[in-house]
Structure 1
Amino acid sequence: MEQALSQVTPGSVVVVGENHGLKTHQNQQIAIMTALRAQGLKVSVGMEFFTFTDQVFVDQYRQGQLSETDFLSQIKWGNPSFEFYKDQVQFPLLSEGSQTWALNAPRSLTSKVAKMGLSSLTSEEQALLPPGFALGRESYRQRFLAMMPHLPNPEAGERYFAAQSIWDDTMAWRAAEFITQHPEQVLVIVVGEFHVQYGGGLPDRIQARSPQTPVWTFSQVNTVDLSPEEIATEMSPSPQYGPRAHFLWLAPAL
């Protein structure tokens, strides 16, 4: 880890994937953040699970102005348990000016697009899209649709991909906005594995919005029940999509 993270400099974004709800993956995220801080870097944390429209509540919670119960009520937290993510949310040192940054689009927006398409959005809903919104690249679309084999028709697949693209591009917009405002910091993004893998999702959108920002990706591979051959397959670059991430963390995770 020390060797990998030695390349991270102020103004960088570090995107760390996870399988949601695995405590081992959350612990490994904290290990990465702690190692970055040990290098003398100021670390802020971007959370996929918080919508950017709730940033005020995130700030109030971190500053002790909202109790945890009231905070979770305000942001309508569901599953998994908030206990899985409390350490990541509370990791930034407010005394250093570090922040917990809400990244995602409102779920009401992406749910509507998944069901009815982009054309169904009202002008008020369109205003919630990130500036200059763009769909993900074609290779990412192909990989996404391959993971959705039970959709009723191709139109449904396009709607779901549009919703996925809103997630990615909104998070990228927020990440780029943060780094522009805080070039002295490192933003560590906690996000689901699919958004990280092969660079086509969130990392690609960050680079499109902020070409000069160094983006480093970590993919966590849960080796529970995997044979040596299966682990080798997970580690090997895809013939179609290329390397899975800059760095892979292989470990049994529960």
Structure 2
Amino acid sequence: MRRLIVCLFTLVATFVLAGAALAQDIDDWDFSLWDVANGRELSIEAAVPDLAKAEFVYVGEVHDEYATHLAQLAVIRALREAGHEVVVGLEMFERRDQETLDRWLAGKLPEREFIEAFRRNWGRLWPQYRDIFLYCRENGVPMAGLNVPRSVTRKVASQGFESLTEEERGMLPPIACDVSPAYAEFLHRITGAHGHGEAEFQKFCEAQLVWDTAMAVHALDDMKEYPGAIMVVLAGSVHAWKAAMPAQMRKQDPDVTQRIILPQEKGRLDKDAVTTADCDYLMLNL
């Protein structure tokens, strides 16, 4: 029993110290953005007035790179500290599991139980995201699950959109799956993926399009509950590029206002190889 108590005390102390370290990390971190349109480096605070003009601010990530998640949290904090209401949209939570997410935010679900829900949605990456989820719970920031069941996108990737049953299509919002040449070229350019041939690549594109479009529809629907707020969308970079989820959102609502922030990638997405067709800002100093 004594050993159990000591272990539990150590675990709690570790979490408390980790939270304190996080606050210090963000405050001390020399995080900045590259303003693509104007070719200049900005602090996140200096970028906030422009970001706040948007209804949706996408902050792309590399799922297993903690620095990109620290940048996401920095954007959320900066917008809130400037007095803006923020909602966080999540690729890493399925829409059908929103009730679990709401219970976590309300403080009605212990962390150990929420970790199991997180793993069910997104695997074993909780340590990478924990600080964001704690910050939102502690500061009353709503979070919205945007994703569709992974079983659906996996099936589309392997068998094509037409293979979905009526029940499986019912797990999606009403969407079409018409892959344009521009969308296919975008995916080929950033992923280098052609599958094992033209047919396989087509199914890959359909899966990505379903993913991007469904999350865009869900995000627009969710924001009807928060007029005047800004949704910070946390998603993998492949979804956050302007040609991906933001383009599908614009098809749903041509008047939507958006800003896109992506992680810098040396040689492919950096100050010397980026345009406003890709994003509005790059993360620097990661």
1:129 deviation in Å? 1.9
Under a length normalisation based on structure 2, what TM-score does the superposition of the two structures give? Answer: 0.76
Helix, strand or coil at the partner of 1:189: strand
Task: Return the alpha-carbon distance in structure 2 between the equivalents of residues 191 and 78 of structure 1.
Answer: 12
Across the two proteins, how many residue pairs are aligned to each other? 241
Partner of 2:45: 2
**Cα deviation digits, residues 113-139 of structure 1 (max 9, x gap):** 111111211111111122233445432
Helix, strand or coil at the partner of 1:7: helix
Whichever residue aligns with residue 60 of structure 2, its letter is: G
1:143 deviation in Å? 2.2
Task: Return the alpha-carbon distance in structure 1 between the equivalents of residues 178 and 103 of structure 2.
Answer: 33
Task: Return the alpha-carbon distance in structure 2 between the equivalents of residues 141 and 2 of structure 1.
Answer: 36
Alpha carbons of 1:162 and 1:193: their partners in 2 closer, same or farther (altered >3 Å)? same
Q: Does 1:119 align with 2:162?
A: yes
Instruction: Tell whether the 8 Å contact from 1:4 to 1:247 is kept in structure 2 after alignment.
Output: no
Task: Return the alpha-carbon distance in structure 2 between the equivalents of residues 44 and 140 of structure 1.
Answer: 28
1:7 deviation in Å? 2.2
Task: Return the alpha-carbon distance in structure 1 between the equivalents of residues 271 and 89 of structure 2.
Answer: 31
Task: Return the alpha-carbon distance in structure 2 between the equivalents of residues 209 and 148 of structure 1.
Answer: 28
Helix, strand or coil at the partner of 1:70: helix
Partner of 1:50: 93
Whichever residue aligns with residue 90 of structure 1, its letter is: L
Whichever residue aligns with residue 215 of structure 1, its letter is: Q
Task: Return the alpha-carbon distance in structure 1 between the equivalents of residues 148 and 187 of structure 2.
Answer: 19
Q: How does 1:81-230 map to 2 (within 5 A)?
A: 81-92=125-136, 98-135=141-178, 137-146=180-189, 147-149=191-193, 151-197=195-241, 199-222=242-265
**Cα deviation digits, residues 64-114 of structure 1 (max 9, x gap):** 222223223345145452021122223336875x41110111001101111
Partner of 1:17: 60
Choose which of 263, 268, 272 in structure 2 pairs with 1:233: 272
| Alignment root-mean-square deviation, CA | 2.4
Q: Percent identity?
A: 26
Helix, strand or coil at the partner of 1:161: helix
1:221 deviation in Å? 0.6
Bigger CA radius of gyration: 2
Whichever residue aligns with residue 157 of structure 1, its letter is: F
Whichever residue aligns with residue 284 of structure 2, its letter is: L
Instruction: Tell whether the 8 Å contact from 2:184 to 2:205 is kept in structure 1 after alignment.
Output: yes
Alpha carbons of 1:95 and 1:233: their partners in 2 closer, same or farther (altered >3 Å)? closer
Q: Does 1:250 align with 2:284?
A: yes
Whichever residue aligns with residue 199 of structure 2, its letter is: E
Q: How does 1:51-70 map to 2 (within 5 A)?
A: 51-70=94-113
Instruction: Tell whether the 8 Å contact from 2:188 to 2:194 is kept in structure 1 after alignment.
Output: no
Instruction: Tell whether the 8 Å contact from 2:95 to 2:147 is kept in structure 1 after alignment.
Output: yes
Whichever residue aligns with residue 47 of structure 2, its letter is: A
Task: Return the alpha-carbon distance in structure 1 between the equivalents of residues 178 and 61 of structure 2.
Answer: 23
Task: Return the alpha-carbon distance in structure 2 between the equivalents of residues 143 and 100 of structure 1.
Answer: 29
Whichever residue aligns with residue 201 of structure 1, its letter is: A
Unpaired runs of 5+ in structure 2? 1-43
Unpaired runs of 5+ in structure 1? none
Give the helix-richer structure, 1 or 2.
Answer: 2
Under a length normalisation based on structure 1, what TM-score does the superposition of the two structures give? Answer: 0.85
Alpha carbons of 1:80 and 1:148: their partners in 2 closer, same or farther (altered >3 Å)? farther
Task: Return the alpha-carbon distance in structure 1 between the equivalents of residues 82 and 179 of structure 2.
Answer: 34
- Of 29-38 and 77-86, the range deviating more from structure 2: 77-86
Partner of 2:72: 29
Whichever residue aligns with residue 177 of structure 1, its letter is: D
